[in-house]
Amino acid sequence: MSPWHKNLLMTNHVDLHTHSTASDGSYRPAEVVHLAKDAGLRAMALTDHDTTDGLAEALAAGAELGVEVIPGVEISTRHVGDSMHILGYFLDFHSGKLAERLAVLKQARKDRNPKIIAKLNALGLAITMEQVERISGGGQVGRPHIARVLLERGYVRTMQQAFDIYLKNGGKAYVAKFRFPPAEALEMIREAGGVPVLAHPFTLGLGSLGALRDLLRDLQALGLAGIETFYAEHTPEQEALYLKLAQELGLLVTGGSDFHGDNKPEVTLGNIRSRNRLTYDLVTALKAWRKKEYGLV
Ligand SMILES: [Zn+2]
Ligand SMILES: [Zn+2]
């Protein structure tokens, strides 16, 4: 293929929210980068839940394929009984402190799955940890994998049903997850030279604009840099609202698909409703923030 033809395929699009088998996605980190290449993306961030284990592989694949891979993470934090996800971009993932904190989360997660399976067994659903590990493909094991086993064994008809009946908060086999408070996640991302961004704000279930504004102000005082504005499940109204709040408070805006591969088949890489706005200028702004804040390039 001529270089000219290659240029035609390359777009200015980016996807700043993706998952691999290092957490609960169904594709290996290098495979996600290959898919990004196929989708013509100029840059993508790998943002696995609570782990940086997939980043080295993704960065190597990115260098080989000419896709800019941004080392990221998505940390689950505690927020009034539910969870608040905080994304981190441009991490120095070799940072000892970050690794130490992520190891705490890894151990907590390890302890959690057997507890969920014990509850399912007590309910008469005969699944084992080995079956769940097999389906995870060697990465992080979590509820989507348990749901897949329940589906394959015929205990539920859909993944959604597995969550609704058993696995979601309030479900019959739910086990609460250990989480850091948001302040700690912001600190660990910043310590590693990263840019912390509040993920998919609509999941916080905040009823009013005022409540979200107050929350953002609090998080900003703790070091938050941005808000994930463009997201597959945001309505145009939500998107407009987050954009307005970001402008008002001086926060960066980011966006991504939250790609999980076959574990979230309705979402495709690089594809959100307002995809024409997911362009490289989001990355440029992240870099500029980082340079201004830490003096890093
Ligand atoms: Zn999330
Ligand atoms: Zn995510």
Residue 35: how many other CB atoms lie within 10 Å? 20
- Retrieve residue 94's tokens: 């070799």
From the CA of 75, how far away is ligand 1's center (Å)? 8
Give the pLDDT score at 3.
Answer: 47
Task: Tell me how far the alpha carbon of residue 125 lies from the centroid of ligand 1, in angstroms.
Answer: 28
Helical packing angle, 236-249 and 209-221, nearest 10°: 40
What residues pair up with 253 in beta bridges, in sequence order?
227
User: What pTM does this model have?
Assistant: 0.85
Strand ranges (E), the chain: 14-18, 43-46, 68-79, 82-89, 195-198, 226-231, 252-256
Neighbours of ion ligand 1 (CB under 5 A): 85, 199
Write out the two tokens for 239. 């998107």
pLDDT of residue 6 exceeding 60? no
Ligand nearest to the CA of 86: 1
Q: Which ligand has the minimum distance to the alpha carbon of residue 199?
A: 1
Nearest ligand atom owner, CA of 201? 1
Residue 3 CA to ligand 2 center (angstroms) comes to 34
**Residue-wise pLDDT tens digits, 227-264:** 999 998 888 889 999 999 999 999 999 999 999 988 78
* Domains present along the chain, CATH in parentheses: 3-101+182-294 (3.20.20.140), 103-167 (1.10.150)
- Quick: pLDDT tens for 186-232: 999 999 999 999 999 988 888 788 999 999 999 999 999 999 999 98
